[in-house]
Chain A
């Protein structure tokens, strides 16, 4: 048996050796480099090459799956591994509080002027010292119009027994508890034990109706028509509906989460000038347009919003109305209460 296993490995190694030489050109050569840490699938793949072309700065680009994932990874790697990171609002607050971010000199980021004022002076960074908005969006319900009886406009649809085993929830404690809190009329940022307990009980009640708690794979699943309802980010809803026209998106009337992902520079960055140049580059209108078209999320750039085609101007997913946005809340850092949220989640999926 041992021989078989060894044989197969030896053979693989041999036949793949020639392949190993291809693409080995990207080793650490001369010239400055910039390390960017971003969400998966969250940039037009050609943009980093364009940046290198323009500035001569090489970009080492890595991805993470979740804010917490990114945070743990930076903590575990001592932070020296990155220059630019792109976390979301509440995580930015947490990182500011823990002194992990460096102030950005906006004089070096002239394109910051292109950012819409709605996305300046937000609670997580009131003085715009640490972050430059990259993308924003809402959380809502994507639903397959051929599988539901009437238009969806409330989170309560996710508790409707008619959709038993036809619902995808997000595999994330903040989002799932958050929308439940909203449905109950509470704040998504509550630290009130009784409110959280109530929301948790609601989720327990919902569990038999849920098909799965999943992450990004929800896009593929909804395109294929695996379920009627799914809690998704607005941008993902657009991606889904582009490939499956039966999908509609709604920001439920009880309100939802408004999130902003912003570019930040780590305190440990070895090349802050290059980091600022990169952020400025990302804010230039042609690049912002490219990324916006690739990612499908909403852009905080005045120019990009202005250039949006008419039919998208009125889309809840692309460009929610002021009235819709007024019902939305931005996540705050929960500090000590985070652990309690995590416990509730473990209880839910472990039960």
Chain B
């Protein structure tokens, strides 16, 4: 039974990682064409540093991700706060509207924004792309801040005001610390979604503005440049290492905390473990 489980898990992982292994392997392929193996080489890693198209796309991707996430976090947090203090009916209505971009297929969100831009005469370009990303990011910020607000004492804000704090001070000193984890969560979620997105960007980016996803898409039709394989391999390995270190560290933290916990409760349990 145990063997069967391991074999099954192994097969699933083989399935999930086979294409990634192929990509990484081909990033070291000296030949340009996908079809042939021309020996081991670092040439694509070198030429990546000079590939203006890819670096430009990478830069756009990161700028759009960080900027749209930051703006969405501000608008979204304020919105969550406001909705928390609204009449229930109105708040529910706004929440339903907020769910729309989450539930709607990406392709519909993409073309509906395209139509909006054309209708309003907004030129497709960097700002149209940024606005689109803000649009699909806000709901995720609201949805991660709202639960935090629900768990907060409703009256601490008023208490702060009664004690003489101005509204701004009360907000930053009292409310923000309470909901900070939700805000950070929402921001990070927004960054990922933005980096991941292809479909909505595809319809709302104008000429001259390209993200990594869009670049890869147009390359996929013309033949992927091996530099993209190199870039993806670097990103993949960096993320893998970071996740592993973070995972090991949190794991150690958890164990240490558990030990402290035990120590405080029953010194005997700890000593018996140490022996």
A residues with CB within 8 A of B: 2-3, 5-17, 19-20, 22-24, 26, 35, 37, 40-41, 60, 62-65, 73-74, 76-78, 80-82, 215-217, 219-220, 223-225, 243
- Asked if A12 meets B207 with Cβ closer than 8 Å, knowing A2-B189, A23-B56, A224-B33, the reply is no
B19 within 8 A of A: no
**A3 to B144 alpha-carbon distance, docked (Å):** 11
Q: Chain A contacts of B33 at CB under 8 A? A: 220, 223-224, 243
Asked whether A216 lies within 8 Å of B221 as measured between CB atoms, the reply is yes
B34 within 8 A of A: yes
Tell which of B55, B65, B124, B125 touches A22, judged by Cβ atoms closer than 8 Å.
B55
Q: What's the least CB distance linking A14 to chain B, in Å? A: 8
Interface string of B127-147 (1 = CB under 8 A from A): 000000000000000001000
A-binding segment of B83-91, B114-122, B172-180: B114-122
Q: Chain B contacts of A216 at CB under 8 A? A: 221-223
Asked whether A15 lies within 8 Å of B239 as measured between CB atoms, the reply is yes
- Asked if A215 meets B207 with Cβ closer than 8 Å, knowing A7-B246, A23-B59, the reply is no
Q: Chain B contacts of A220 at CB under 8 A? A: 33-35, 223
**A9 to B114 alpha-carbon distance, docked (Å):** 27
Interface string of B241-257 (1 = CB under 8 A from A): 01100100000000000
**A8 to B235 alpha-carbon distance, docked (Å):** 11
Q: Chain B contacts of A77 at CB under 8 A? A: 123-125, 206-207
Q: What's the least CB distance linking A331 to chain B, in Å? A: 21
Q: Chain B contacts of A78 at CB under 8 A? A: 121, 123
**A8 to B196 alpha-carbon distance, docked (Å):** 11
Q: How large is the interface on B (under 10, 10 to 19, 20 to 34, 35 or more residues)?
A: 35 or more
Asked whether B125 lies within 8 Å of A219 as measured between CB atoms, the reply is no
B residues with CB within 8 A of A: 33-36, 52, 55-56, 58-59, 62-63, 65-66, 114, 117-118, 121, 123-125, 144, 185, 188-189, 191-193, 195, 206-208, 210, 218, 220-223, 235, 238-239, 242-243, 246
Q: Chain B contacts of A217 at CB under 8 A? A: 220-223
**A103 to B138 alpha-carbon distance, docked (Å):** 46
Asked whether B192 lies within 8 Å of A8 as measured between CB atoms, the reply is yes
Q: Chain B contacts of A20 at CB under 8 A? A: 58-59, 62-63
Q: Chain B contacts of A73 at CB under 8 A? A: 124, 206-207
Tell which of A3, A6, A12, A74 touches B235, judged by Cβ atoms closer than 8 Å.
A12
**A23 to B188 alpha-carbon distance, docked (Å):** 25
Asked whether A80 lies within 8 Å of B123 as measured between CB atoms, the reply is yes
**A3 to B243 alpha-carbon distance, docked (Å):** 12
- Using CB atoms, name the residue of chain B closest to A78: B123
Asked whether B189 lies within 8 Å of A13 as measured between CB atoms, the reply is no
**A22 to B65 alpha-carbon distance, docked (Å):** 17
**A7 to B247 alpha-carbon distance, docked (Å):** 10
Q: Chain A contacts of B117 at CB under 8 A? A: 76
Asked whether A82 lies within 8 Å of B66 as measured between CB atoms, the reply is no
Tell which of B52, B55, B239 touches A12, judged by Cβ atoms closer than 8 Å.
B239
Q: Chain A contacts of B222 at CB under 8 A? A: 40-41, 215-217, 219
**A40 to B214 alpha-carbon distance, docked (Å):** 13
Asked whether A11 lies within 8 Å of B239 as measured between CB atoms, the reply is yes
Tell which of B52, B121, B144, B223 touches A219, judged by Cβ atoms closer than 8 Å.
B223
- Using CB atoms, name the residue of chain B closest to A17: B62
**A60 to B55 alpha-carbon distance, docked (Å):** 15
**A208 to B243 alpha-carbon distance, docked (Å):** 48
**A41 to B193 alpha-carbon distance, docked (Å):** 30
- Asked if A23 meets B52 with Cβ closer than 8 Å, knowing A13-B65, A65-B218, the reply is yes
Asked whether B55 lies within 8 Å of A23 as measured between CB atoms, the reply is yes
Pull 6 A–B residue pairs with CB atoms less than 8 Å apart, ordered by A: A2-B185, A22-B55, A23-B56, A24-B59, A73-B124, A81-B207
- Asked if A8 meets B207 with Cβ closer than 8 Å, knowing A19-B62, A243-B33, the reply is no
Q: Chain B contacts of A76 at CB under 8 A? A: 114, 117-118, 124, 206
Asked whether A8 lies within 8 Å of B59 as measured between CB atoms, the reply is no
Q: Chain B contacts of A60 at CB under 8 A? A: 208
Q: Chain A contacts of B189 at CB under 8 A? A: 2, 5-6, 9
Q: Chain B contacts of A13 at CB under 8 A? A: 62, 65-66, 188, 191, 195
- Using CB atoms, name the residue of chain A closest to B124: A77
Tell which of A10, A15, A26, A80 touches B191, judged by Cβ atoms closer than 8 Å.
A10
- Using CB atoms, name the residue of chain B closest to A81: B207
- Using CB atoms, name the residue of chain A closest to B36: A224
Asked whether A9 lies within 8 Å of B206 as measured between CB atoms, the reply is no
Asked whether A62 lies within 8 Å of B207 as measured between CB atoms, the reply is yes
Asked whether A37 lies within 8 Å of B207 as measured between CB atoms, the reply is yes
Q: Chain B contacts of A2 at CB under 8 A? A: 144, 185, 189
Given contacts A6-B185, A10-B192, A74-B207, 18 further A-B contacts (CB under 8 A): A6-B188, A6-B192, A7-B246, A8-B243, A10-B188, A11-B239, A11-B243, A11-B246, A13-B195, A16-B235, A20-B58, A22-B55, A22-B59, A23-B55, A62-B207, A76-B206, A220-B223, A225-B35
